Amino acid sequence: KAKFNPLGLQYFYTLIDDAVSRVMRSKGGFVWALKNYDGDVMSDMVAAAFGSLAMMTSVLMAPDGSVEFEASHGTVTRHFYRYRAGEKPSTNATATIFAWTGALRRRGELDSLPDLVSFAGKLESACLETMRDGVLTGDLAVLVEKEHCRQVVNFEESLEAIAKRLATKMQDADRR
């Protein structure tokens, strides 16, 4: 707390119940540290309240330097059940992809593999560019103004659009 005050930052400890109500009324502008299950539940709640669970990832850092990257827990299970039932889910894969790219980037940094670090960046860029270009899954399309949504796609079609952009990025890198 003594280090926060001179920086104009407020530090306080509170129970998860109070944190929930503060976050729901908040306009943001804060950093919060949560332990294990509270962090999982609360980060999912924030993602759902302010957009889509499919856009939420968590980075868990341990005191020993270990890092875990994960997507919101609810997205993969629900997608799988719908897929297994023969549906073509419209769930966005960005959180899952970013969990993987975070892990790949970290592994590349630890093992001095610049090509792996670069690949992770290219894949993330391909995801973001696809969405910025207005190619959105249904769960995201409902969150944006109509003029920002050029095409609504299902899960598989979104992966195909991302893969196409990634292939172009990889070819461009090979030419250099």
Residue 76 pLDDT? 66
Q: What span, in angstroms and rounded, lies between the C-alpha atoms of 36 and 94?
A: 23
Could you give the dihedral angle defined by the CA atoms of residues 170, 125, 59 and 92, in that order, rounded to the nearest 10 degrees? -110
Q: What span, in angstroms and rounded, lies between the C-alpha atoms of 28 and 9?
A: 14
Residue 45 pLDDT? 75
Number of other CB atoms surrounding residue 95 within 10 Å: 24
Residue 40 lies in a domain: no
Residue 115 lies in a domain: yes
Q: What span, in angstroms and rounded, lies between the C-alpha atoms of 69 and 85?
A: 29
Residue 49 lies in a domain: no
Residue 81 lies in a domain: yes
DSSP code for 31: -
Number of domains in the chain: 1
Residue 15 lies in a domain: no
> Locate tokens 């868990």: which residue?
60
Structure tokens at 126: 């391909």
> Are the C-beta atoms of 124 and 97 separated by less than 8 Å?
yes
Predicted structure pTM score: 0.76
Q: Give the distance from CA 176 to its chain's centroid.
A: 30
Residue 96 lies in a domain: yes
Per-10-residue mean pLDDT of the chain, 176 residues long, equals: 86 79 77 74 73 76 86 70 86 87 96 97 97 92 90 93 96 85
Residue 90 pLDDT? 77
